[in-house]
Every structure is written in C-alpha cells, then in structure tokens.
C-alpha cells in the first residue's frame, strides 16, 4: 500500500504533466516562470489542508516525537463537517480527558483537537468501525506510525473521491 506522502507525490507528477492545459493551477503558482515539480507539490499539499509540501511531509510521515504539539493543518477536517456538533479542544490533554469521558476519536486540527464521533468520520469519508481506529485507541495523535499513515492514506483517498461525487 502506498503512503499518503507517496500518493501526493504521484498526484503532483500527474498535475505537472497537465501544466499546459487551460485549467491548470500551476502557472499561477509559478508566477510567470515554467511550472516545476515544487509548484505541483505545493498545490497538492495545500489541497490536502497543509501550508506547503514540507508541512505535509512532517504531518503525514507521523515521525514527530510529539505530534500533539505541532500544527497538523486541516487534513482531518472537511467542509462537510461544518454543520456537525463535535467537541473542540485547545489542548491534547483536554481532548484526551473528554475522550475518556465521552468516547470518540481524537483528531488534530491545526494546533487544536476535535473529539469526533462516527458521523464526523463518515463526513471525512472514513468508516467509524474501521479496526485501525481501535488499534490506536481511537486517537490519531499517538500510536503506531504505520497505522496512522494507513488511516491518513485512506483519508487522502476519500478526499479524492469526494471531489468527483456528483451531487
């Protein structure tokens, strides 16, 4: 299985090959120069909810020793979640205490956290009953790096699918 980082790299290379099409976003990012891979990487990272490519790599690699303290971008959020009532927490400790009390899945959002329910996960295109959540104790912010990366990959695929849904 690919990682989320590898998937973003593939998407950026495909985008770069399409740089001369009329609807390509790359010329605007290249600011009058010939679009390069770095512009495509920046674009796909921003589309996934990150500030730039380095930000995407840092979060999606799951290698940070303290992911609970970094800006995780908007990767674990969707506009489809906007109308949902979930518990937002300013600190990881607050999210952990709330999860212990009420259940749910802890997900990062920028430098905050949401304790999400099954409806929130479905809005992200993910299954609430996925055994991967249980293996992480329903907390994406800690646990197995491989499992966290697999869930991130599933989220990325769900983002792609959501873009092509016909309403």
Q: Are 96 and 164 in the same domain? A: yes
Q: Are 32 and 89 in the same domain? A: no
Q: Are 91 and 15 in the same domain? A: no
Q: Measured between alpha carbons, how far is 99 from 38 in angstroms, rounded to an integer? A: 39
Q: Measured between alpha carbons, how far is 28 from 5 in angstroms, rounded to an integer? A: 24
Task: Note the pTM of the prediction, 2 decimals.
Answer: 0.89
Q: Which of 34, 45, 60 has its CA nearest to residue 12?
A: 45
Q: Are 56 and 76 in the same domain? A: no
Q: Which helix (H) or strand (E) holds 47?
A: helix 37-47
Q: Are 158 and 81 in the same domain? A: yes
Q: Are 96 and 165 in the same domain? A: yes
Q: Which helix (H) or strand (E) holds 39?
A: helix 37-47
- The angle subtended at Cα 120 by Cα 119 and Cα 121, nearest 5°, is 90
Task: Compute mean pLDDT per 10 residues along the chain, 167 residues long, and list them.
Answer: 92 89 83 89 96 95 71 93 88 95 95 94 95 96 94 94 52
Q: Are 93 and 43 in the same domain? A: no
Q: Are 49 and 74 in the same domain? A: no
Pair 155, 75: CB distance under 8 Å: yes
What pLDDT is attached to residue 42?
95
> What is the span of the domain harbouring residue 56?
1-61
Q: Of 38, 61, 84, which residue is a domain's last?
A: 61
Q: Are 139 and 73 in the same domain? A: yes
Total domains in the fold of the chain: 2
What pLDDT is attached to residue 131?
97
* Other Cβ atoms closer than 10 A to 167: 2
Q: Are 19 and 36 in the same domain? A: yes
Q: Which helix (H) or strand (E) holds 93?
A: helix 92-102
């Amino acid at each position: 299985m690919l990682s989320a980082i590898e998937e973003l790299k593939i998407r950026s290379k495909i985008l770069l090959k399409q740089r001369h099409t009329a609807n390509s976003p790359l010329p605007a990012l290249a600011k009058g120069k010939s679009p390069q891979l770095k512009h495509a990487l920046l674009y796909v990272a921003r589309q996934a909810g990150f500030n730039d490519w380095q930000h995407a790599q840092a979060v999606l690699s799951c290698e940070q020793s303290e992911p609970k303290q970094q800006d995780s971008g908007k990767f674990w959020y969707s506009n489809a979640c906007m109308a949902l009532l979930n518990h937002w927490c300013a600190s990881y400790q607050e999210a952990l205490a709330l999860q212990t009390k009420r259940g749910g899945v802890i997900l990062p959002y920028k430098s905050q956290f949401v304790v999400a329910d099954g409806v929130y996960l479905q809005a992200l295109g993910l299954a609430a009953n996925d055994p991967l959540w249980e293996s992480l104790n329903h907390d994406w912010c800690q646990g197995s790096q491989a499992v966290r990366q697999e869930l991130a990959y599933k989220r990325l695929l769900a983002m792609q699918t959501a873009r092509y849904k016909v309403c």
